[in-house]
Every structure is written in structure tokens, then in C-alpha cells.
Amino acid sequence: MKESKTVIDIQVRKEIEEAIETIKFTKNFRSATAEEWYIFMKHYVDPQSGGAAGKVIIHYNLYGNKEIFINTTIIFDDHRLFDPSLHSLVYSVADEVVNRLVGYADTLLSVHAGPNSYQAEYKSNS
């Protein structure tokens, strides 16, 4: 079976590295079962407010005392992130958001970024 490799344009790779190095978060809301965070990224903003490039909604589904499953939704507001040539950037930023805000918990991820939207599942090995 052939191994598939993804080729990322050098400029996009630089944008990915810069976005991940400079990404910032602020928490907007927290309840017993949910959190809402704003994502700030260098070069990307909400076109209406000039603020955060997107938001993250983390919803905790608690089953008893031991099982926790997390539903995470990332909504990007900067329409430049809808450009299909930036799919690798959107994917890399979303992956970093899950790593930083959710950690190693089992997670269903839904990313909303126009044509770059996708869904993924993160499962721990334990």
C-alpha cells in the first residue's frame, strides 16, 4: 500500500508556524458543563468587530464519575480562513486548539470554516 504524503506550500508552512506561536485565547463564558473561548490569531480577525478570529465552544458530557466525553466546536469568523488553499492552516490551528484547551480527553471536534470545515474524533489510547 502506498503511503500518502501531504505537501504544504512553504508560505503556508510559515503562516502555520506563526499562527501557532502567536495564538492567544480568552475565556468568555463558563458554566458547569460548557466553556466558550475566543481565539486571537496574528493576521486574522472577525471582519465585523476587528476582534477574535474565531471562537471555541467546549461542551462536557459527563457520564458518572469516570467517563468524560467532550464536544468541541471551533467557528472561524475571518472569511480568509475559508480559502481552500489554507486548509492546512485551519487544520493545524484547530489541532493546536484541541491540544491546549481540551488536552487528552476523548473529543468530538467540529470545525466551521466555510469550505475548510471538517469533523474529527480524538480518542485517548487508555
Residue for cell digits 486548539? 97
What's the pTM?
Answer: 0.87
Q: How confident is the model at residue 3 (pLDDT cuts 50, 70, 90)?
A: low
> Which pLDDT does position 126 carry in this prediction?
63
What is d(CA 25, CA 14) in angstroms, rounded to the nearest whole number?
21
**pLDDT tens-place string over residues 67-126:** 667 899 999 999 999 999 999 999 999 999 999 998 877 899 999 999 999 999 988 776
Contact 71, 61 (CB under 8 A): yes
Per-domain residue ranges of the chain: 24-122
Contact 53, 40 (CB under 8 A): yes
Contact 122, 101 (CB under 8 A): no
Contact 93, 100 (CB under 8 A): no
Encode the chain in three state secondary structure: CCCCCCCCCHHHHHHHHHHHHHCEEEEEEECCCEEEEEEEECCECCCCCCCCCEEEEEEEEEECCCEEEEEEEEEECCHHHHCHHHHHHHHHHHHHHHHHHCCCCEEEEEEEECECCEEEEECCCC
Grid cell, residue 45, equals 480577525
